[in-house]
Amino acid sequence: MDKFMIIGERIHCISPTIRKAIEERNTEPIFKRAKEQLDAGADYLDLNIGPAGKDGEEIMQWAVKALQSEFDNVPLALDTTNKKAIEAGLKVYNREKGKPIINSADAGERIGNIDLAAKYGAMCIALCAKEGITKDNDERIAYCTEMLEKAMELGMEPTDLLFDPLFLVIKGMQDKQKEVLEAIKLINEMGLRTCCGLSNVSNGAPKEIRPIIDSTYAAMAIQSGLTSAIMNPCDKRLMETIKTCDVINGAVLYADSYLEL
């Protein structure tokens, strides 16, 4: 079994600090967040520049080149709804340490991002949705199959798609949580890889219990077959849970010091 893949979520334009840094083309706050996540064990960094309707292509190229130059060609997930900005980032991306990830495609308006992934030899997070919240797992699997078939027709490997069943907030959608875990299991049984926005589950919950919800849900999702997540690697409890899951699943050899690795 492969080691769980951690995609650091903290370079996100929703943060006032990061948004200001992007606007001013100031690398210092971005590098600080990047270093914290890499030191904590992130495998990839998600680079979320928002809709980036204005100057999106220039912003993405600036950020990709800056991060990869500073952190030895760190692998990145390029995260924006601006397709031209994603393509601009792919053009300057150095894949020495790993393929780029496009975040994200879906079975609706963003299905064209799968074409982009095929064109540039990238991985792609594929949301099992078309518009709005998917009704049930029959719909999720139908959308998953639709995107898989498109990718394979374009010559992509199934392993280059990371299927996201869409994690839902527990506060208000508690009845949907077991259904999402079942979706992960169904996708895993198809031999496919999965991903999620892990912190979505605890969104809106009190700050002190969010790490408890996130770490518990992570363990349950990994048991169901989850193979990667966009998450906060600086959450110590969450990282300890994931590292322990890797040991129990046999992805990492046990040592008394495994939490320090």
What does the pLDDT look like over 134-191, one tens digit per residue? 999 999 999 999 999 999 999 999 999 999 999 999 999 999 999 999 999 999 999 9
Tens digits of residue pLDDT in 95-143: 999 999 999 999 999 999 999 999 999 999 999 999 889 999 999 999 9
Give the amino acid at 34: A
Half-sphere exposure of 68 (CA within 13 A, CB side): 23
The per-residue pLDDT for 53 is 83
55-77: average pLDDT? 99
End-to-end CA distance of the chain: 18
The per-residue pLDDT for 48 is 98
Phi, psi of 229 (to 5 degrees): -155, 145
For β-strands 228-231 and 193-194, DSSP reports them as unpaired
35-54: average pLDDT? 96
Beta carbons within 10 angstroms of residue 187's beta carbon: 25
**H-state helical runs in 154-251:** 177-189, 210-224, 236-248
**H-state helical runs in the chain:** 16-24, 27-40, 56-70, 83-92, 112-120, 137-153, 177-189, 210-224, 236-248
Task: List the domain boundaries for the chain.
Answer: 5-260
The per-residue pLDDT for 174 is 98
Q: What is the CA radius of gyration of the chain?
A: 18
Q: In the CATH hierarchy, which fold is given to the domain comprising 5-260?
A: TIM Barrel (3.20.20)
The band of 52, judged by pLDDT with boundaries at 50, 70 and 90, is: confident
Whole-model pTM above 0.95? Answer: yes
Place of tokens 């994200």: 104
Nearest one of 242, 196, 243 to 215, comparing CA atoms: 242
Q: Is the dihedral of CA 44, 49, 55, 56 positive or negative?
A: positive
